[in-house]
Amino acid sequence: MEAAIRDAVAARAVAAEAAIEASQARKVAEECAVEAQAARERAEASRKVAEATRERAESARQQAESARVRAEEARQVAEAARVRAEEARGQAELARKASEGAKAVAEAALDDARKRLEEAEAYLEVAKFALPPGQVWWLERELQEKRKYMPKAKGGIEKN
């Protein structure tokens, strides 16, 4: 029986050591569980930060795409405006040429009118001696009226 007691004491000692080791292992496991929980929380926080960053990047991409579309539309509008401006310039050039032609015609007509006026004045000077005074006055009056509608630089007079 002594052997059985010794065996029991030895088994008790082994059991006590096993209990101590189990207690230490439990503490280590609890510490590991706390560390694992902290790591999970850090990973979750990192995931949330990454998700927020991804959402901001997606928003920035959408804004950039929208800006690109608006820029493309603005480019097309500017291109259309450029084409219209070139057409308007061409039309203005044609109008300028037409106005130069009309100016030349008007100057020729003015020169012709000035020449006729000079001829009429010369005729009036000759006719003063052959026509009655009332008719001479009337012809001079008509010549003066014609001068009112001529440019001053071309021999016209001021309108009163």
For residue 24, is it within any domain? yes
Q: Residue 89's pLDDT is what?
A: 94
Evaluate the CA torsion angle 15, 17, 21, 24 in order and state its sign: positive
The yes-or-no verdict on residue 60 having pLDDT over 90 is yes
The yes-or-no verdict on residue 138 having pLDDT over 90 is no
Give the C-alpha separation, 85 to 137, whole Å: 58
Q: pTM of the entire structure? A: 0.44
Give the C-alpha separation, 145 to 156, whole Å: 10
Summarize the confidence of residues 88-100 as an average pLDDT: 93
For residue 47, is it within any domain? yes
The yes-or-no verdict on residue 87 having pLDDT over 90 is yes
For residue 143, is it within any domain? yes
For residue 97, is it within any domain? yes
pLDDT band, residue 149 (cuts 50/70/90):
confident
Domain hosting 24: range is 2-154
The yes-or-no verdict on residue 48 having pLDDT over 80 is yes
How many domains, the chain? 1
> Are 150 and 113 spatial neighbours (Cβ–Cβ below 8 Å)?
yes
- Specify the higher pLDDT residue, 94 or 154: 94
Q: Residue 113's pLDDT is what?
A: 81
